Amino acid sequence: MAIDAKYETLKLQLDDGQVLQVTLDRPQVGNAINTRMGQELLALWRGLTEDAQGVRCVVLTGAGGKIFCAGGDLKERNGMTRAQWTHQHEIFERVTFAMTDLPLPLIAAVNGHAFGGGLEIALCCDFIHASRTARFGLPEVTLGIMPGMGGTQNLPRAVGERRARELLLTGRPFTAQEALEWGLVNQLADGDALLAGALDTARTIARNAPLSVRQIKRSVRYGGQMDLHSAYRFEIEAYNQLVDTEDRREGVAAFNAKRAPVFHGR
């Protein structure tokens, strides 16, 4: 099972059985993504999609406190053949798809610098909390490659197409304050308050009706790819799936009884 497996590059911690903290755990190399980390991330996201095991929200962060993720492990990549590089990147691509398709809310707690694939991983999350001292960037153009884990698609959707073009084509880094002002980051925090705040937000989400949370996430994601009229219709279909659920009845009953609802995802 996803949260019971043994990982070499990830550290998992379960909070109250409902919030899963996932830590990229290669601090000695800036939590750079090597092949093994790619394989383990893919297994984790796929496993949670198939069976969430009671998890209702996930927080993703990095070990060490200074670097969230430095991107792809260029030391491992040095000297790779085309076939080896392509094989590894296929794993990374599947990680991107699995994160994007994850039905659970996924919060990035960017507790240090996020460059290249590190920023792309954060962009695949539903939203981002970041350290005030964090720096961001997609420098692939300076290395003879380009973002290949959703960066050219997710960055424009976060900060706007014109600003994204400048950042992608220059490869220049930018600050956490700029990321906040541009809409890439939801909020900033100092030190330990960052992870504490992200976990608190995750607990708030976890207390809400799980089926409602999943349908909202689906509606935002897929509706955003449609024309507005079709998106309205998609939202209504998602809404109607919740009408005959135990959680909907519990929510209304709890409101009228003036008590906190207890949702079971049914």
Write out the catalytic residue numbers: 120, 140
| All residues at 6 or more sequence positions from 18 whose CB lies less than 8 Å from its CB, including other chains | 54, 55, 56, 57, 203, 206
Question: Cα separation of 226 and 222, whole Å?
Answer: 7
Q: Which of 206, 209, 196 is nearest to 105 (CA)?
A: 206
Question: Both tokens of residue 57?
Answer: 């929200």
| All residues at 6 or more sequence positions from 132 whose CB lies less than 8 Å from its CB, including other chains | 176, 177, 188, 189, 190
| All residues at 6 or more sequence positions from 170 whose CB lies less than 8 Å from its CB, including other chains | 141
**Are the C-beta atoms of residues 166 and 139 closer than 8 Å to each other?**
no
Q: Which of 173, 227, 29, 205 is nearest to 103 (CA)?
A: 205
